[in-house]
Structure 1
Amino acid sequence: MNYRVIKENDMFLLTDESGQIPDQHPYGPGLYTKDTRFLSRLDLRINGEEPVLLASDADNTSVAEMLLTNPHMEQENEAGEKVVHLWRESIEMKRRRFIWDGVLYEQIHVKSYHPQQTAFNISLQLDADFKDMFIVRGFQNGRTGDKRDAESSANGLKMSYLGADDVERQLHVSWNMVPESQSETQEPEFHFDLAHGEEKVLELTMVPEISGEKGTALSHSEALERLMISTDDWAKQMTKVKTDYEPLQRLIDRGLKDLRVLLTDLGEGSFPVAGLPWFGVPFGRDSLIAALQLLPFASDVAKGTLRTMAKRQGTKKDSWRDEEPGKIMHEIRFGELANTGQIPFSPYFGTIDATPLFLVLLSEYMKWTGDHSLFTELETNVEAALNWVDSYGDRDGDGFVEYHQEAAKGIANQGWKDSGDSIVHRDGRLGESPIALSEVQGYVYHAKVSMAQAFEDVGNPERGKVLRGEAKILKEQFDEAFWMPEQGYYALALDKDKKQVGTVTSNPGHVLMSGMMSSERAQAVSEMLVSDKLFSGFGIRTMGEGEAGYNPMSYHNGTVWPHDNSLVILGMSRTGNVKAASKVMMGLIRSAASFDYDRLPELFCGYNASRGKAVSYPVACSPQAWAAGAPLLMVQAMLGLFPDVLSGEVALNPRLPEGVNQLTVEQMQIGDGELDLTVTRNAKGDCNVNVERNTTGLAIKL
């Protein structure tokens, strides 16, 4: 990663590796909240010169540290003699920054290693352009507001902006030292005069304000302590996983750390945003899938995600935003352009899969927790979502859910593969909408069967009967319309003419977890997914090698997406195709060694593993929520663990991949209790289970 990013709740800071925010940088670094860049420049100088970077890493996305020093500084005097002003590497500057409760804190520890008393200046160049994120990224221009003159004082600086949306935005910057000079209001300079080994700390506090609302600045030590307590509390509440296979252990630990940073709360409970740096907002499918991956570890995140989506569910027909009654949003933005209606993301609803995934997450949450109260709370939203599936999702009444873009500035392809070229026929033609995706039909089937059970459990058997009947018809129609006998596999989609888009892709793999396939076809699909055509050795490609649209460097047509693989893995485990699941899991585990900090990125290139190393995709988000959640879903798949609190049992069918000989989970919350167990693998590959503690009151079904 050639950038550094930290996040807490809905604020994040993006800088270069030295911690700087250079002016006019093409990548758009800055301090962001509510889709607005509140800090567009932060340049630290020592005696007016750029420091030298010694060390910086992106391991921790809660607290960032950079170690810097000074370049050699000398110049000739009038006599032509060289005079040293500051000997090279004599001053150490350690930057540490973090975010807590809407405030950015930075400490600059300045220490002298020069053998004599040494004087020098540290200066800062600060600016806030208050640009909308869409403008920063070059996606959109439009009507904007006016920036006001900065106001400065000896201990701080205030920069202000009145937006075209009539929202006043401000950034308050304060420091703990009196500047040596402040000839320009946004370039404070601080004088240091240090003996050998002496250290002083310059502290900066930055507080964004929107319409009079802002975080409360604390002392740096108190704010950091609260952040550490929050981080520790998250770790204590999690299911604990221990394994003898160190690469897997690192993946799991990394995933849990990154997901904690990616949580945000807009008032309905914590939910995972999509990823950093550019997608730190609610995303329908991304947030829902990441919450699904987290269920065995933190089921409360699913509750927060469901409530967040339910509050923003579509209520009317609005083609500008692709909104329809009952539809679950795709993405929401909070910046100036969204507020003034110049972009449709307020929220935008151009997603075909978020609505059934909302129902899938609710059903799985109930199976893990037995929490009927949430279903009762959201029953109106459930009915609205089911009505959307049948009346708006199925545009032509053929029994399949299709998408078609209506918003002028919306998204053309509205499944998870939303690139403009992602739906391509075997002859290279792009599929034309309305498009019915294979995986979406699986989500709909899963949703209807599980919601049928939910309605029956709350005393509405008639509603359940109707939904089961609809699911049965969908299963029959899906097999007839999507199955490709010559391929022994399901089609990617149906196009506007109800013709199969027959390209071999990973999409049908998602249908495995729905229970809609027969056991024979589930096996055939699993075998295709781990064949040389789709499996790279590091994971399942999004598109099969040899297809007309295949490109190992393409965003959706040949790359490997960890979240995509994780949903396939869960489906393979659920359908008993555990050998195939183990193969995919080991591929992903091996791939992690190719990336910094064992962090699975959003995606990587689909080149064969014979290269020896996975090839990075150049602009993949990292950390990305559903990539961080992939190893967590792998743990569930290895255990073959599928609880159903409502039925009173936990299904367990473990299969550990070769190399993983022991897997222990502790504090796994199921229903009102916890489950501790250890799975061991013998030389033959058979697994033994030792249930060490079970306070769930549920029967373990092996």
Structure 2
Amino acid sequence: MKDLVSILDGNTFLVSDRHGDVEPSLDFPTGLFTFDTRFLSTWLLLLDGERLHALSIDDAESYRTRYFLVPGEPTHYLDAKVSVIRSRAICGGFDEEITVLNHSGEEATFTVRIEIGTDFADLFEVKDVLRKRGSNTALVNDDSLHLRYVREAFHRETVIRSSEPARIDKTGMTFPIRIEPHGEWTTRLTISTVIYGARGEDVRARLPISASRTTAAIQADHADFVEQAPKLGCDCEPLATAYRRSLDDLAALRYESLTLGVRLLAAGLPWFMTLFGRDSLITSLQVLPFLPQLIPPTLLVLAGLQGHRIDDFRDEEPGKILHELRYGESAGFEEQPHSPYYGAADSTALFVILLDEYERWTGDVEMVGRLEFAARGALAWLDSYGDLLGTGYIWYQTRNPRNGLENQCWKDSWDGISYADGRLPGFPRATCELQGYAYDAKMRGARLARLYWNDPQYADRLEQEAAALKERFNRDFWLPDREYYALALDSDGSPVDALSSNMGHLLWSGIVDESRAGRVAEHLLGPRLFSGWGVRTLADDQGRYNPIGYHVGTVWPFDNSIIAWGLWKYGFREEAGRICDSMLQASRYFDGRLPEVFAGYERELTEYPVQYPTACSPQAWSAGTPMLLLRVMLGLEPQGDHLIIDPHVPSGMGRVELLDIPGRWGQVDALGRSRTQEDEPIRPD
């Protein structure tokens, strides 16, 4: 990602190299994408047949970028007589303005060439060389180039126009230009992406926001989004930078649903620019105290798409909340089950948890009533389809061995769940955090039933079930000889004994016995799991440990934010503060934008957090991480119509002030300071 530059707005994004060029890549999805289809796979700028090289890049804003370019390799002795500025923006489609500047005292002639191409690849196809089943054609008009793909009713088109005359052919546009001494020449290229519907029109034309996306509208929309959030004042520059960057990224990750016309949060660029159940729910929990307006559309859409039948292809079951929703060709022709796909065992409990947490913050009783049926269905799933073996635990095993996910917890890579010695357990599997989520969902469902659904008997039953679950969980998952909770149970009920970060999620859920919470905290902050930059997904002495393995030794910011929240809930304020501080210090090395994941090397070994090569950035639940860390440090907790504020700011961070925190209480302010001597020095940036 270091050598790539991305811009995005909603579901449309472009990924290029550091010079602004796009070429097909098997390593990373470069190109112009919207709704899971690549509309440009080649976009190369040539000046007199030469590639250009960047002197500087201005990418401070998520939706637009400027490149300052020269021909040839820039060196200390460079004395270019010509330079080029590429200014681009995502605004519904993609606009690029190319300006060629003649720095000499003589008239000059140049040939500007844009090489253009597209494969209309589905995002699932980007890493695979697959033969497309439809027809790909190019049509040249006097003022435009039309690239089209048709497969039965699936019809996509890219249209490229220029504000200046060009020689247009099927692979690009050529501009022979003449520039006077110290003059310049400019053309504006407009690239439109068209997603044809059954009526032969772009299906986005009827969406109120997509139809009016201009750079000015985007800028105003982003500014309004940031303005709605609480105002942060603090002495810790990494915190201030990360908070502002998170707001900017969350603004950019909002997209308008093709079918529902509401704005949702995409999970992350480039692989996950769509609705994900787990990611959307956890991000919502992180940002709820700051941006509560994001929560209702997420809850309503997930409830509207809740499973209602048995569908082995999609892993769908009645009451189950979806995992992923895709719009591309492979989903449309059922070559992939993502229309939507339900292969997640945690999103269903998280749905109930978010509904309750949302009401506790906002007092939106109407939403609780509106989603009662969906919440009851989700709770029923926990005890029926979720409990595959009838043992009182949540298990998972895909119904679709060909296309389904093997691991249906958040560590969903193929080797994400293992024994301490590195062996992989069989299926079905019951990971520990799933049981914590189920416990929390039952407790919260009981609260909703008693207070708002007028069903005290149901509430009593849920509380009794939660208590029984907590008792047997602490019996079956606790490893007394190692004094930590097993990562999972395998199919015969034996513990999968790896030491992992999942225990922190157990603290957040409340399922951990008080007598064992101290040992859990010690493990999480001990040298096997804690790298100095954060808690690793897997301890460094486990069989599958790899500091650059996706779920087997890396550090995930969102994971750490949940762990910090769990430590705080059990009263481990110093330990929670260590995680908050380590995350914020790590963010300095990513310009304030915490990535999806980074390497799990020891802090003493690298002195900086090492980039993970294909991490999503921005990613929604990483953008939400600084907000949840703020909640933890300030000790924010709703209680009735009041907000409890009990700050515990890590040493060296100084003053942290959050103004206009929204909720059922109106707006309140919170202030905290490091619990050290009054004149403590402020940590340098």
TM-score interval (norm. to shorter): over 0.9
Which whole-Å deviations, capped at 9, do the CAs of 1:125-181 have from their partners, x for residues lacking one?
11222121211222x847621112x222232121211125x22211121111111x3
Deviation at 1:593, TM superposition (A): 3.0
Residues 144-155 of structure 1 correspond to what in structure 2 (within 5 A)?
Answer: 144-148=133-137, 150-155=138-143
Q: Which amino acid aligns with 1:253?
A: R
Deviation at 1:430, TM superposition (A): 1.0
Residues 254-403 of structure 1 correspond to what in structure 2 (within 5 A)?
Answer: 254-266=245-257, 267=260, 269-403=262-396
Instruction: Pick one of 137, 161, 166 that aligns with 1:174.
Output: 161
Which whole-Å deviations, capped at 9, do the CAs of 1:354-373 have from their partners, x for residues lacking one?
11111111111111111111
Deviation at 1:393, TM superposition (A): 0.3
**Separation (CA, whole Å) in 2 of partners of 1:306 and 1:7:** 24
Deviation at 1:119, TM superposition (A): 2.0
Matched, 1:130 2:120: yes
1:110 alignment counterpart: 100
Provide the secondary structure at the position in 1 that maps to 2:503.
helix
Matched, 1:447 2:423: no
Provide the secondary structure at the position in 1 that maps to 2:439.
helix
Maintained 8 Å contact 1:207/1:215: no
Deviation at 1:321, TM superposition (A): 1.4
Maintained 8 Å contact 2:546/2:553: yes
Instruction: Pick one of 609, 622, 631 that aligns with 1:636.
Output: 631
1:161 alignment counterpart: 149
1:46 alignment counterpart: 47
Deviation at 1:548, TM superposition (A): 2.2
**Separation (CA, whole Å) in 1 of partners of 2:565 and 2:679:** 20
**Separation (CA, whole Å) in 2 of partners of 1:24 and 1:137:** 8
Residues 71-220 of structure 1 correspond to what in structure 2 (within 5 A)?
Answer: 71=72, 89-100=80-91, 102-138=92-128, 141=130, 144-148=133-137, 150-164=138-152, 166-179=153-166, 181-182=167-168, 184-211=169-196, 212-213=201-202
**Separation (CA, whole Å) in 2 of partners of 1:271 and 1:161:** 28
Structure 1 runs (4+) deviating above 4 angstroms are: 23-26, 140-143, 214-218, 684-687
Maintained 8 Å contact 2:290/2:662: yes
Residues 537-686 of structure 1 correspond to what in structure 2 (within 5 A)?
Answer: 537-595=532-590, 597-611=591-605, 612-644=607-639, 647-671=640-664, 673-684=666-677
Deviation at 1:661, TM superposition (A): 1.2
Maintained 8 Å contact 1:119/1:194: yes
Matched, 1:428 2:422: yes
Matched residues, number: 664
Maintained 8 Å contact 1:269/1:307: no
User: Mean Cα displacement is larger for which, 41-50 or 111-120?
Assistant: 111-120
Deviation at 1:322, TM superposition (A): 1.0
Structure 2: give runs of 5+ residues left out of the alignment.
681-685
RMSD: 2.3
Which whole-Å deviations, capped at 9, do the CAs of 1:403-462 have from their partners, x for residues lacking one?
012212111111111121121112332111111111111111111111111122212222
2:65 alignment counterpart: 64
User: Mean Cα displacement is larger for which, 518-527 or 400-409?
Assistant: 518-527
Provide the secondary structure at the position in 2 that maps to 1:192.
strand
Q: Which amino acid aligns with 2:215?
A: L
Which whole-Å deviations, capped at 9, do the CAs of 1:197-229 have from their partners, x for residues lacking one?
4333211111111222166799xx992111110
Deviation at 1:378, TM superposition (A): 1.5
**Separation (CA, whole Å) in 2 of partners of 1:552 and 1:49:** 41
User: Mean Cα displacement is larger for which, 441-450 or 117-126?
Assistant: 117-126
TM-score relative to the length of structure 1: 0.91
Instruction: Pick one of 196, 217, 230 that aligns with 1:226.
Output: 217
Q: Which amino acid aligns with 1:33?
A: T
Deviation at 1:603, TM superposition (A): 1.0
Q: Which amino acid aligns with 2:134?
A: G
Q: 1:685 to 1:657 in 2, by over 3 A?
A: farther
Deviation at 1:651, TM superposition (A): 2.3
Provide the secondary structure at the position in 2 that maps to 1:121.
strand
Deviation at 1:517, TM superposition (A): 2.2
Deviation at 1:592, TM superposition (A): 2.2
**Percent sequence identity over aligned pairs:** 35
1:83 alignment counterpart: none
**Separation (CA, whole Å) in 2 of partners of 1:23 and 1:548:** 37
Q: Which amino acid aligns with 1:163?
A: R
Instruction: Pick one of 498, 508, 511 that aligns with 1:513.
Output: 508
Q: Which amino acid aligns with 1:429?
A: R
Maintained 8 Å contact 1:103/1:215: no
Provide the secondary structure at the position in 1 that maps to 2:320.
coil
Provide the secondary structure at the position in 2 that maps to 1:598.
coil
Which whole-Å deviations, capped at 9, do the CAs of 1:235-294 have from their partners, x for residues lacking one?
111111121011221122222211211122313633322211111111111111111111
Deviation at 1:187, TM superposition (A): 2.1
Deviation at 1:636, TM superposition (A): 0.1
1:241 alignment counterpart: 232
**Separation (CA, whole Å) in 2 of partners of 1:566 and 1:685:** 28
1:20 alignment counterpart: 21
Deviation at 1:684, TM superposition (A): 4.3
**Separation (CA, whole Å) in 1 of partners of 2:414 and 2:420:** 16
**Separation (CA, whole Å) in 2 of partners of 1:342 and 1:16:** 31
Q: 1:23 to 1:602 in 2, by over 3 A?
A: closer
Q: Which amino acid aligns with 2:85?
A: K
Deviation at 1:68, TM superposition (A): 0.9
Which whole-Å deviations, capped at 9, do the CAs of 1:10-55 have from their partners, x for residues lacking one?
1111111111112566533111112111112111111222112212
Q: 1:151 to 1:549 in 2, by over 3 A?
A: closer
Provide the secondary structure at the position in 2 that maps to 1:205.
strand
Maintained 8 Å contact 2:648/2:675: no
Maintained 8 Å contact 1:271/1:301: yes
Maintained 8 Å contact 1:207/1:214: no
Provide the secondary structure at the position in 2 that maps to 1:125.
strand
Maintained 8 Å contact 2:485/2:503: yes
**Separation (CA, whole Å) in 2 of partners of 1:207 and 1:380:** 42
TM-score relative to the length of structure 2: 0.93
2:683 alignment counterpart: none
Deviation at 1:308, TM superposition (A): 2.1
Q: Which amino acid aligns with 1:99?
A: I
